[in-house]
Amino acid sequence: MEILTKIGGWADKLTQIGISLVALGVVLEVLFSGAGIPFWPEISVVDNIMGILGSLNAEGLLGLVGAFVLYHILKKQS
């Protein structure tokens, strides 16, 4: 059981790092108007988030349930 606890801890830390990187990407895109950010790859975090939200909207109730489940998973980790 100790190995499962360690793996769960690693997964929690990786999730927190991922959420922090997404938040950093959003802030940088807002500050630099999405272009010419030094040291940041040529990706648009805001466009990717909008695409995900658009696909959830297109799925209707299933997308809403998926967003609800994801929200509660991330809320539980905090």
pLDDT in tens, the chain (78 residues): 788 888 888 988 998 898 888 888 888 888 877 666 777 777 777 788 788 777 777 767 777 777 777 777 777 655
23 burial type by CB count under 10 A (0-12 exposed, 13-18 middle, 19+ buried): exposed
Contact 64, 56 (CB under 8 A): yes
| Full DSSP string of 30-64 | HHTTTS--TTS-S--HHHHHHHHHHHHHHTTHHHH
